[in-house]
Chains A and B, each alone.
Chain A
Amino acid sequence: MAIWDSIPAQFQSVLVILGQVLAVTIVVILCVAYLTLAERKVIGYIQNRIGPNRVGPKGLLQPFADVIKLLLKEVVVPSSANRFLFIIAPLLSITPALAAWAVMPLFPGFTLANINAGLLYVLALTSLGVYGVILAGWASNSKYALLGAMRSAAQIVAYEIAMGFALVAVVMAAGSLNLGEIVEAQAGGAGLLNWFWLPLFPLFIVYFISGLAETNRAPFDVAEGESEIVAGFHVEYAGVTFAVFFLAEYANMILISALTAVFFLGGWLSPFQGLLGEDSLLGAPGLFWFALKTCFFLFCFLWFRATFPRYRYDQIMRLGWKVFIPVTIVWIFVLGAMIAFQVPPWFA
């Protein structure tokens, strides 16, 4: 403690912030590692298999075995590839996925950076993820990679609009761009009925499905499309560079799940808030509820992957442009009417 006190106050706060950043990042990366295991286990049980169970007790050390294997593999850069962009592309896809956690309200009163325009920041960062994919596809100098990148870029641009409109409605309902205030706007005596999923139900569905499409997950994984274009944009990647792409995909999944929990399921609020009171164990808001809601959406990601066949490309485009965008626009007007007439319990 003596050493700590001898540091000037300015540097102390810098060190505290750095420590918090490191803690959040490490937790997210650990979550990514175990999400890969969870995916294999969940899909295994859905398909009546056991899944990985050899490394460590119940297969719990499998993610570490995978990581070590990938780190030890040789990184092959195709001879006609654009070397600099080829290496930098995976980094461009992981950075936004991790940086967006800066504005995430994890539990009451804690956000790494409590900024006013938090939602805009999240939108701006999630729109950057597409660069990694496009550059990877182009720099590989391979036709399959380029096709995958093109598909992915068109898909992300299309679904970003529906996502943005859904978030406009969230901002209208909450009256704030700050993620912490959006969570607090959903608090109320009716518990889980007070959350925005009910008044914004169509947008909740649109947002989550657009999130699936943004992260290039099944059933919207045409950017990878194993059966048609081998592995899409990352077909030429191996070893560490591939691992980083993998990390980015799963980090994005966790991010989208957490954001859906914050925007529509009241973040760290308890579903029994009004019923049990704030003091009881299950009625108190906290990180536990936030994690539980995020895990629910993550399970949905895995569940959908095991259940649905891949969408055809033109149908993905039709769903994004011709179904989701009109639905969101209509519901923004409905929401405007609800706010104007002060429909209880949300807007009274």
Chain B
Amino acid sequence: MFIQILFYVFATVLVGAAIGVITARNPVHAVMYLVLAFFNSAVLWLLLEAEFLAIVLVLVYVGAVMVLFLFVVMMLDVNVESVKSGFTRYAPLGVVVLVIIAVELAQVIWVRHMGLRGIGELTPLPADYNNTRELGLLLYTEYFYAFELAAVILLVAIVAAISLTMRRRPGLKVQNIAQQVAVRREDRVKLVKMDSEERQ
């Protein structure tokens, strides 16, 4: 009962935040709504006893991805007028996308509904059940190749992004760090012994 009340509270906030993402005029506000939405979906996962996924959602999406997102949005000079002027041009495409998503969602809910009938409420797992350990055991044994493949694909993406954006600019003045570290006092400072001047 208590869990259900919590679920509806957080689900309401989640839906509200999601609506906020698309209705907010200010892009920074939209990003903050998205952060709120991520947070609430993490709480919903916690209610399903998927604590690893919930924490990783916060760690990866809220802690890293959205920070970079916010970074970019804050740097952009968004002109609201020019964004609005494209509305009628993109509206038909938007409607098509909307219909596809709606059909897909309905289908997913329908199929899940068929499959889930009769399962009823989730049976709570024992307190010492370690979701993270179970996930790790599966990932590193049964799904080892898939896991490693995903890692390699991500690595390739990183290398590609860097090689696409890196330019070698000629005439750039950079420091040679090894040289700087290797510098000793004798190379830079010269102590000169002088006799003191005669008193006038």
Contacts and interface: CB of A to CB of B under 8 A. Distances in A.
Interface in B87-114: none
Contacts of B58: 124, 127-128
A116 interface: yes
Given A131-B35, A138-B74, A121 B67 contact: no
B55 interface: yes
B23 interface: no
Interface in A146-184: 146, 150, 153, 156-157, 160, 177
Interface size class of A (residues with CB under 8 A): 20 to 34
B55 A120 contact: yes
Contact of B28 (A115, A138, A156, A160): A138
A117 B56 CA distance: 10
Nearest to B129: A116
B13 interface: no
B132 A120 contact: yes
Given A120-B52, A131-B35, A134-B74, A157 B130 contact: no
B16 interface: no
A131 B67 CA distance: 7
A82 B31 CA distance: 15
A112 B55 CA distance: 18
Given A124-B55, A124-B58, A130 B67 contact: yes
Contact of B51 (A85, A115, A128, A160): A115
Nearest to A164: B59
Interface of A: 82, 85, 115-117, 120-121, 123-124, 127-128, 130-131, 134-135, 138, 146, 150, 153, 156-157, 160, 177, 318
30 contacts: A82-B26, A85-B28, A85-B29, A115-B51, A116-B131, A116-B132, A120-B52, A120-B59, A120-B132, A121-B55, A123-B59, A123-B63, A124-B55, A124-B62, A124-B63, A127-B58, A127-B63, A127-B67, A128-B62, A130-B63, A130-B67, A131-B35, A131-B67, A131-B70, A134-B71, A134-B74, A135-B32, A150-B71, A156-B67, A177-B132
Nearest to A121: B55
B117 to A, nearest CB: 32
A216 to B, nearest CB: 15
A121 to B, nearest CB: 6
Contacts of B62: 124, 127-128
B55 A117 contact: yes
Contact of B64 (A121, A157, A177, A318): A157
Given A120-B52, A123-B59, 16 more contacts: A82-B26, A115-B51, A117-B51, A117-B132, A120-B132, A127-B58, A127-B64, A128-B62, A128-B63, A130-B63, A130-B67, A131-B35, A131-B67, A134-B70, A134-B71, A157-B67
A77 to B, nearest CB: 17
Main secondary structure of the interface of A (DSSP, over half): helix
Contacts of A85: 28-29, 32
B52 A117 contact: yes
Nearest to B57: A124
A270 to B, nearest CB: 28
Interface residues of B, number: 24
Nearest to A114: B127
Interface string B58-82: 1100111001101100100000000
Contacts of A318: 177
Nearest to B52: A117
A127 B59 contact: yes
A116 B135 CA distance: 13
Nearest to A137: B74
Contacts of B71: 134, 150, 153
B138 to A, nearest CB: 16
A121 B130 CA distance: 14
B130 A116 contact: yes
A318 B62 CA distance: 25
Interface in B16-37: 26, 28-29, 32, 35
A157 B59 contact: no
Given A85-B28, A146-B74, A134 B55 contact: no
Contacts of A131: 35, 67, 70
Contacts of B59: 120, 123-124, 127
Contacts of B52: 117, 120
Contacts of B56: 120, 124
B40 to A, nearest CB: 14
Nearest to B75: A150
A127 B56 CA distance: 11
Contacts of B133: 116
Residue of B28, B55, B70, B74 contacting most chain A CB atoms (<10 Å): B55
A135 B29 CA distance: 10
A150 B55 CA distance: 26
A10 B54 CA distance: 27
